[in-house]
Structure 1
Amino acid sequence: MPFITNKTQEETVGIFYEDYGTGQPVILIHGWPLSRKSWEHQVWKIVEAGFRCISYDRRGFGISSSPWNNYDYSSLTGDLNQLVKQLELKDAILVGFSMGGGEVVRYFTDFGNENIAKAALISSIIPLVKKKEDNPNGVPAENLNGIKDALENDRVGFLKEFSKGFYNYDNNKDKVSQAQLDYDFSIALHASPRATIETAKAWMHTDFRPELKNVNVPTLIVHGDADNTVPIQTSAKQAAKGIKDNTLEVIKGAPHGLNITHKEELNKILIDFLNK
């Protein structure tokens, strides 16, 4: 089974990845609290379009290692950098979904744009989730604390209901099945409890606004205007103002999990961007 190893003075972490196709490499970075499996409907389309598609499990998720500490964004991005280095990737395209948008932006802060040709932010949390005086459309602190408390006290119960909001399920039963909800629940259920909570703290509280200027490659931003999990005003609209060379694509009626509910629209937008 393919793993890369990120070895530091503090720890040794094994990151599982899948690598299909040939051509320019596209790296898929999954959202919270899922795994590389959430990219099922994108991987085969990317490979079919003539690209090399690499998806991996973030530390603590899927079958990657689950260390006790180091779930901040620089640690997570260090794993991504080792993937790029050890697979000797050139002109790679980084694609981050939801929480994964943080690794995309932090990559440019910590490692620059060497070996990176383009970037894409899909339903991304970038640049800031939390409500502040200068981020009035963000999620109130008490709501974020409620999520943390629920994860600490009844993680399984919280995750059982989470994906319904992820897909705006009541409005999209024709686009997402109960089986899909069950599948997501199974993936999230088997993630490390510690990683689930610690990475939630990272996406809740990390302010990427000062880092947007570091993203200096052509960047695609895709968001649904019905995203109730990560509202577009505090995420994609702000990211588009802070990233110099970007293309913002809004999918009408799409929820957070548009990679499932609006997969055809997303795949066309993404493949067109990859081919530019």
Structure 2
Amino acid sequence: MPFLTVKDGTQLFYNDWGTGRPVVFLGTAMMNSRMWEFQAPRLAQRGLRCITYDRRGFGRSDRPWEGYDYDTLADDLAGLIDHLGLREITLVGYAMGGGEAVRYLSRHGSGRVARLALVSSTTPYLMRAPDNSDGLDLAVFEQIADGMTRDRARFVAELTGPFFGGPGADPQDLPISSELAHWLAQTALDSSPRASVEVYRTLFTEDLREDVRGVDLPTLIVHGDGDMGAPFELCARKTAPLIPGSRLVVYEGAAHGLFATHADRLNEELLAFAGA
């Protein structure tokens, strides 16, 4: 299996499929590269080079105790890009992956990146602050951390309905099969308990507004207006005005897991954007 070793010695697993313009996929906080089941193979078949990888702490990558802040995660991404010699990249940042993408750009520059897609992204800032009064209270993160610490399997199971179906969704009546929902939920458990809590701490507490303001690339923003994980008004609605010329595409009624529930539509958006 392909691995690279980043600067602190952590080994990261990655997939590199297809030929053509490179697309690098950055996933949700808790899932690994298997979440791209419906994107990477299909876009590779349509003429793109698709690179996915398991964030440190998740899937087949190493599980160190530290390194779950955006700076370190962005440096991991830089290590992958350098390792593969990628240029003219389309970065696809999904949920927390959007934070990694914009921190990479602010930390390493856009010299190797041609365009940015933010899908269900948690940018620019989730937490309530004096200048972000409609943000989420820190107690929300504390409840999440407590739930994962007490019973991570139950925490993930209870999130499955809202993740794919939106507020109040019945886990037995989702836009995807119960088998697929269960399998994707299980990928979220293929991680270290430390990493699971710490990535949530990062995505919840780190302010990315300046990073987002610095984006100087063509940017596509795709978001469902039924998203609970990255509330639309707090995330996409605030991200779009910070990036001049960005294009916001709203999926009416879509929840956080639109990579699965709206896979065909998302694939066509990404193919057109990446220039396949």
What's the TM-score bracket when you normalise by the shorter of the two chains? over 0.9
- Name the structure 1 match of 2:228: 228
TM-score in terms of structure 2 length: 0.95
- Alpha-carbon spacing, 1:187–1:217, altered in 2? closer, same or farther (3 Å): same
Structure 1 residue ranges (4+ consecutive) displaced by more than 6 angstroms after TM superposition: none
| Secondary structure of 2:31's aligned partner | coil
Alpha-carbon deviations, 1:116-166, whole Å to 9, x = none? 111110000000111223223322222221101111222222112122211
The TM-score with structure 1 as length reference comes to: 0.95
**3-state SS in 2 of match to 1:189:** coil
Q: Could you tell me how far 1:214 is from its partner in structure 2?
A: 1.8
- Measured in 1, the distance between the counterparts of 2:250 and 2:140 equals 26
Q: Distance in 2 between matches of 1:125 and 1:211?
A: 13
User: In the alignment, is the contact (CA less than 8 A) between 1:137 and 1:233 conserved in 2?
Assistant: no
User: Where do 1:92-107 residues align within 5 Å?
Assistant: 92-107=89-104
Gaps of 5+ in 1: none
Which whole-Å CA distance do the structure 2 matches of 1:96 and 1:172 have between them? 29
Return the alpha-carbon distance in structure 2 between the equivalents of residues 163 and 212 of structure 1: 29
Q: Structure 2: which 5+ residue stretches go unaligned?
A: none
The CA deviation at 1:246 is: 1.0
Q: 2:109 aligns with which of 104, 108, 112?
A: 112
Aligned-partner Cα distance in 2 for 1:199–1:174: 27
User: How far apart, CA to CA, are the structure 2 residues paired with 1:175 and 1:156?
Assistant: 22
d(CA) in 1 for partners of 2:3 and 2:225?
Answer: 37
CA contact (8 A) 1:122 1:221 kept: yes
Query: Does the alignment pair 1:193 with 2:190?
Result: no
Q: Which of 122, 126, 130 is the matching residue for 1:129?
A: 126
Deviation at 1:171, TM superposition (A): 8.5
Letter paired with 2:81: V
Q: SS where residue 111 of structure 2 aligns?
A: coil
Partner of 2:238: 238
Q: Does 1:23 align with 2:20?
A: yes
Q: What is the rounded CA distance, in whole Å, between the counterparts of 1:259 and 1:30 in structure 2?
A: 10
Q: Distance in 1 between matches of 2:42 and 2:244?
A: 28
Q: Name the aligned partner's letter for residue 202 of structure 1.
A: T
Query: 2:266 aligned with 1:266, yes or no?
Result: yes
Corresponding letter in the other structure for 1:215: V
Within 1, Cα distance between the matches of 2:190 and 2:146? 19
CA distance in 2, matches of 1:123, 1:62: 21
Percent identity over the alignment?
A: 38
Against the structure 1 CA distance between its residues 155 and 174, is the aligned structure 2 distance closer, same or farther, given a 3 Å change threshold? closer
SS in 2 for 1:170: coil
CA distance in structure 1 between the partners assigned to 2:203 and 2:252 by the alignment: 25
- Give distance in 1, aligned partners of 2:46 and 2:245: 24
The aligned length equals 273
Q: CA RMSD in A?
A: 1.5
8 Å CA contact 2:164–2:175 kept in 1: the answer is no
State the AA in 1 paired with 2:197: I
TM-superposed deviation, 1:187: 1.1
